[in-house]
Amino acid sequence: MATYVLVHGGGHGGWCYQPVARLLRAAGHEVYTPTLTGLGERAHLVGPHVDLDLHIHDVVAMLHHENLRDVILVGHSYGGMVITGVADRAADRIGRLVYLDAANPVNGQSLLDVAGPIIAATRPMGKIVDGVELVLIPFPEAGAFYGVTDPDDIAWMADRLTPHPWRCFEQPLALTNEDALWAIPQYHIVCTSTLATRDPELTAKARAAGRLWDIDTGHDLMITEPRAVTDALIDVATS
Protein backbone atom coordinates (compact mmCIF):
# COMPACT_ATOMS: atom_id res chain seq x y z
CA MET A 1 0.00 0.00 0.00
CA ALA A 2 1.25 3.47 -0.89
CA THR A 3 0.37 6.82 0.68
CA TYR A 4 -0.50 9.62 -1.73
CA VAL A 5 -0.87 13.30 -0.95
CA LEU A 6 -2.52 15.05 -3.90
CA VAL A 7 -2.06 18.82 -4.03
CA HIS A 8 -4.32 20.83 -6.31
CA GLY A 9 -3.55 23.80 -8.53
CA GLY A 10 -4.75 27.37 -8.78
CA GLY A 11 -8.43 28.09 -8.20
CA HIS A 12 -9.15 24.47 -7.31
CA GLY A 13 -9.38 22.53 -4.05
CA GLY A 14 -8.94 18.97 -2.84
CA TRP A 15 -12.33 18.26 -4.45
CA CYS A 16 -10.78 18.09 -7.93
CA TYR A 17 -9.07 14.81 -7.05
CA GLN A 18 -12.27 12.97 -6.10
CA PRO A 19 -12.28 10.66 -9.17
CA VAL A 20 -8.59 9.76 -8.79
CA ALA A 21 -8.82 9.39 -5.02
CA ARG A 22 -11.71 6.94 -5.33
CA LEU A 23 -9.75 4.80 -7.79
CA LEU A 24 -6.58 4.84 -5.68
CA ARG A 25 -8.49 3.90 -2.53
CA ALA A 26 -10.27 1.12 -4.37
CA ALA A 27 -6.82 -0.23 -5.25
CA GLY A 28 -5.94 -0.30 -1.54
CA HIS A 29 -3.93 2.90 -1.19
CA GLU A 30 -4.11 5.68 1.40
CA VAL A 31 -4.98 9.08 -0.09
CA TYR A 32 -5.01 12.62 1.27
CA THR A 33 -6.35 15.58 -0.73
CA PRO A 34 -5.67 18.75 1.26
CA THR A 35 -7.22 22.06 0.24
CA LEU A 36 -4.86 25.03 0.43
CA THR A 37 -5.81 28.04 2.56
CA GLY A 38 -8.16 30.48 0.84
CA LEU A 39 -9.38 28.04 -1.81
CA GLY A 40 -12.18 25.51 -2.22
CA GLU A 41 -14.04 24.89 1.01
CA ARG A 42 -11.44 27.09 2.72
CA ALA A 43 -12.18 30.12 0.52
CA HIS A 44 -13.57 31.98 3.54
CA LEU A 45 -10.01 32.12 4.90
CA VAL A 46 -8.64 34.16 2.01
CA GLY A 47 -6.76 37.33 2.97
CA PRO A 48 -3.56 39.29 2.42
CA HIS A 49 -1.62 36.65 4.35
CA VAL A 50 -2.26 33.92 1.75
CA ASP A 51 0.82 33.29 -0.35
CA LEU A 52 3.01 30.46 -1.65
CA ASP A 53 4.81 30.10 1.69
CA LEU A 54 1.52 29.62 3.53
CA HIS A 55 0.42 26.95 1.05
CA ILE A 56 3.70 25.13 1.52
CA HIS A 57 3.16 25.32 5.28
CA ASP A 58 -0.38 23.94 4.87
CA VAL A 59 0.97 20.70 3.42
CA VAL A 60 4.04 20.43 5.65
CA ALA A 61 1.78 20.77 8.70
CA MET A 62 -0.57 18.10 7.39
CA LEU A 63 2.33 15.68 6.89
CA HIS A 64 3.44 16.32 10.47
CA HIS A 65 0.04 16.06 12.14
CA GLU A 66 -0.94 12.95 10.18
CA ASN A 67 2.55 11.52 10.83
CA LEU A 68 2.99 10.62 7.17
CA ARG A 69 6.26 9.26 5.78
CA ASP A 70 7.47 7.82 2.48
CA VAL A 71 4.72 9.83 0.83
CA ILE A 72 4.12 10.05 -2.90
CA LEU A 73 3.58 13.81 -3.10
CA VAL A 74 1.69 14.93 -6.22
CA GLY A 75 1.22 18.50 -7.39
CA HIS A 76 -0.95 19.71 -10.26
CA SER A 77 -0.21 23.00 -12.10
CA TYR A 78 0.53 25.66 -9.42
CA GLY A 79 0.75 22.68 -7.04
CA GLY A 80 4.17 21.97 -8.54
CA MET A 81 5.41 25.13 -6.81
CA VAL A 82 3.89 23.95 -3.54
CA ILE A 83 5.21 20.38 -3.57
CA THR A 84 8.73 21.56 -4.42
CA GLY A 85 8.67 23.79 -1.35
CA VAL A 86 7.18 21.03 0.78
CA ALA A 87 9.90 18.58 -0.26
CA ASP A 88 12.53 21.21 0.58
CA ARG A 89 11.13 21.63 4.09
CA ALA A 90 10.10 18.03 4.82
CA ALA A 91 12.39 15.91 2.65
CA ASP A 92 12.50 13.14 5.25
CA ARG A 93 8.76 12.54 4.78
CA ILE A 94 8.73 12.37 0.96
CA GLY A 95 9.47 9.19 -0.97
CA ARG A 96 8.63 10.43 -4.48
CA LEU A 97 7.61 13.68 -6.13
CA VAL A 98 5.11 13.68 -8.99
CA TYR A 99 4.56 16.74 -11.18
CA LEU A 100 1.08 16.44 -12.70
CA ASP A 101 1.14 18.78 -15.70
CA ALA A 102 2.77 21.06 -13.16
CA ALA A 103 5.26 23.86 -12.76
CA ASN A 104 8.84 22.64 -12.28
CA PRO A 105 10.50 25.53 -10.41
CA VAL A 106 14.02 26.03 -9.15
CA ASN A 107 15.17 28.22 -6.30
CA GLY A 108 14.13 31.83 -6.65
CA GLN A 109 11.48 31.29 -9.30
CA SER A 110 7.83 32.23 -8.99
CA LEU A 111 4.99 30.72 -10.98
CA LEU A 112 5.03 33.92 -13.00
CA ASP A 113 8.66 33.13 -13.91
CA VAL A 114 7.90 29.51 -14.80
CA ALA A 115 4.69 30.05 -16.78
CA GLY A 116 4.85 33.76 -17.53
CA PRO A 117 2.52 34.45 -20.46
CA ILE A 118 -0.25 32.12 -19.31
CA ILE A 119 -0.23 33.38 -15.74
CA ALA A 120 0.22 37.05 -16.67
CA ALA A 121 -2.82 36.80 -18.96
CA THR A 122 -5.06 36.03 -15.97
CA ARG A 123 -4.21 39.25 -14.12
CA PRO A 124 -6.21 41.79 -16.18
CA MET A 125 -9.34 39.68 -15.59
CA GLY A 126 -8.86 39.70 -11.82
CA LYS A 127 -10.34 41.94 -9.17
CA ILE A 128 -9.57 43.40 -5.75
CA VAL A 129 -11.72 42.15 -2.88
CA ASP A 130 -11.14 43.52 0.63
CA GLY A 131 -7.65 44.57 -0.37
CA VAL A 132 -6.70 41.18 -1.83
CA GLU A 133 -5.90 40.87 -5.53
CA LEU A 134 -7.67 37.78 -6.87
CA VAL A 135 -7.30 36.08 -10.25
CA LEU A 136 -8.84 33.01 -11.90
CA ILE A 137 -12.26 34.45 -11.18
CA PRO A 138 -14.80 31.63 -11.74
CA PHE A 139 -17.48 31.81 -14.42
CA PRO A 140 -19.97 29.16 -15.61
CA GLU A 141 -17.78 27.81 -18.43
CA ALA A 142 -14.47 28.17 -16.58
CA GLY A 143 -13.79 24.44 -16.83
CA ALA A 144 -13.05 24.92 -20.52
CA PHE A 145 -10.13 27.19 -19.53
CA TYR A 146 -8.60 24.12 -17.88
CA GLY A 147 -9.11 21.88 -20.91
CA VAL A 148 -12.31 20.22 -19.70
CA THR A 149 -14.91 19.57 -22.41
CA ASP A 150 -17.57 17.35 -20.86
CA PRO A 151 -20.62 19.50 -19.95
CA ASP A 152 -21.28 17.57 -16.73
CA ASP A 153 -17.67 18.04 -15.60
CA ILE A 154 -17.80 21.74 -16.46
CA ALA A 155 -20.99 22.15 -14.42
CA TRP A 156 -19.42 20.25 -11.50
CA MET A 157 -16.38 22.52 -11.61
CA ALA A 158 -18.44 25.70 -11.89
CA ASP A 159 -19.92 25.02 -8.46
CA ARG A 160 -16.49 24.55 -6.87
CA LEU A 161 -13.83 26.74 -8.49
CA THR A 162 -12.76 29.75 -6.41
CA PRO A 163 -10.63 32.85 -7.05
CA HIS A 164 -6.92 32.59 -6.27
CA PRO A 165 -4.74 35.26 -4.60
CA TRP A 166 -2.31 36.74 -7.12
CA ARG A 167 0.35 36.99 -4.43
CA CYS A 168 0.79 33.20 -4.59
CA PHE A 169 1.78 33.42 -8.24
CA GLU A 170 4.34 36.21 -7.96
CA GLN A 171 6.09 35.10 -4.75
CA PRO A 172 9.47 33.44 -5.47
CA LEU A 173 10.11 29.96 -4.13
CA ALA A 174 12.81 29.98 -1.46
CA LEU A 175 14.70 26.69 -1.10
CA THR A 176 17.14 26.01 1.74
CA ASN A 177 17.64 22.22 1.65
CA GLU A 178 18.30 21.57 -2.03
CA ASP A 179 20.63 18.58 -1.66
CA ALA A 180 17.89 16.61 0.10
CA LEU A 181 15.16 17.95 -2.17
CA TRP A 182 16.78 17.02 -5.47
CA ALA A 183 17.77 13.60 -4.14
CA ILE A 184 14.06 12.67 -4.03
CA PRO A 185 13.03 10.75 -7.19
CA GLN A 186 10.91 12.92 -9.47
CA TYR A 187 8.22 11.76 -11.89
CA HIS A 188 6.24 13.66 -14.50
CA ILE A 189 2.71 13.04 -15.75
CA VAL A 190 1.97 15.63 -18.39
CA CYS A 191 -0.51 16.47 -21.11
CA THR A 192 0.79 15.61 -24.56
CA SER A 193 -0.02 19.14 -25.70
CA THR A 194 2.31 20.73 -23.12
CA LEU A 195 5.38 18.61 -23.87
CA ALA A 196 6.68 21.08 -26.44
CA THR A 197 6.61 23.90 -23.87
CA ARG A 198 8.65 22.03 -21.28
CA ASP A 199 12.39 21.93 -20.65
CA PRO A 200 13.58 19.40 -23.25
CA GLU A 201 16.49 18.30 -21.08
CA LEU A 202 14.18 17.64 -18.13
CA THR A 203 11.66 15.68 -20.19
CA ALA A 204 14.34 13.70 -22.04
CA LYS A 205 15.97 12.72 -18.76
CA ALA A 206 12.63 11.71 -17.22
CA ARG A 207 11.64 9.70 -20.27
CA ALA A 208 14.97 7.87 -20.36
CA ALA A 209 14.54 6.95 -16.69
CA GLY A 210 10.98 5.68 -17.24
CA ARG A 211 9.60 8.55 -15.16
CA LEU A 212 7.52 10.36 -17.77
CA TRP A 213 3.93 9.67 -18.81
CA ASP A 214 2.05 11.83 -21.30
CA ILE A 215 -1.71 11.73 -21.58
CA ASP A 216 -3.52 13.23 -24.55
CA THR A 217 -6.09 15.35 -22.73
CA GLY A 218 -6.68 18.79 -21.22
CA HIS A 219 -4.78 20.44 -18.39
CA ASP A 220 -7.15 19.18 -15.66
CA LEU A 221 -6.23 15.62 -16.50
CA MET A 222 -7.22 14.32 -13.06
CA ILE A 223 -10.80 15.24 -14.05
CA THR A 224 -10.77 14.37 -17.75
CA GLU A 225 -8.69 11.16 -17.54
CA PRO A 226 -8.81 9.90 -13.94
CA ARG A 227 -8.15 6.26 -14.88
CA ALA A 228 -5.02 7.10 -16.89
CA VAL A 229 -3.75 9.35 -14.12
CA THR A 230 -4.45 6.70 -11.49
CA ASP A 231 -2.67 4.02 -13.50
CA ALA A 232 0.38 6.28 -13.84
CA LEU A 233 0.38 7.04 -10.11
CA ILE A 234 0.23 3.34 -9.30
CA ASP A 235 3.14 2.80 -11.69
CA VAL A 236 5.08 5.45 -9.76
CA ALA A 237 4.53 3.55 -6.52
CA THR A 238 5.90 0.33 -7.99
CA SER A 239 8.83 1.81 -9.91
| Domains detected in the chain | 3-238 (3.40.50.1820)
**pLDDT tier, 70 (very low <50, low <70, confident <90, very high otherwise):** very high
| 38 conformational bin, left if phi > 0, alpha if psi -120 to 50, beta if neither | left
Provide the pLDDT for residue 193.
87
- CA 132 to CA 134: how far, in whole Å? 6
Taking only the tens place, the pLDDT of each residue in 77-112 is 999 999 999 999 999 999 999 999 999 999 999 999
Please, which residues have CB within 8 angstroms of residue 201's CB and are 6 or more apart in sequence?
A: none
- Mean pLDDT computed over 201-222: 93
Sign of CA dihedral 51, 202, 200, 208: negative
For the question of residue 110 being annotated catalytic, the response is no
- CA 192 to CA 215: how far, in whole Å? 5
Chain-centroid distance of CA 55 in Å reads 11
The catalytic position among 77, 110, 193, 239 is 77
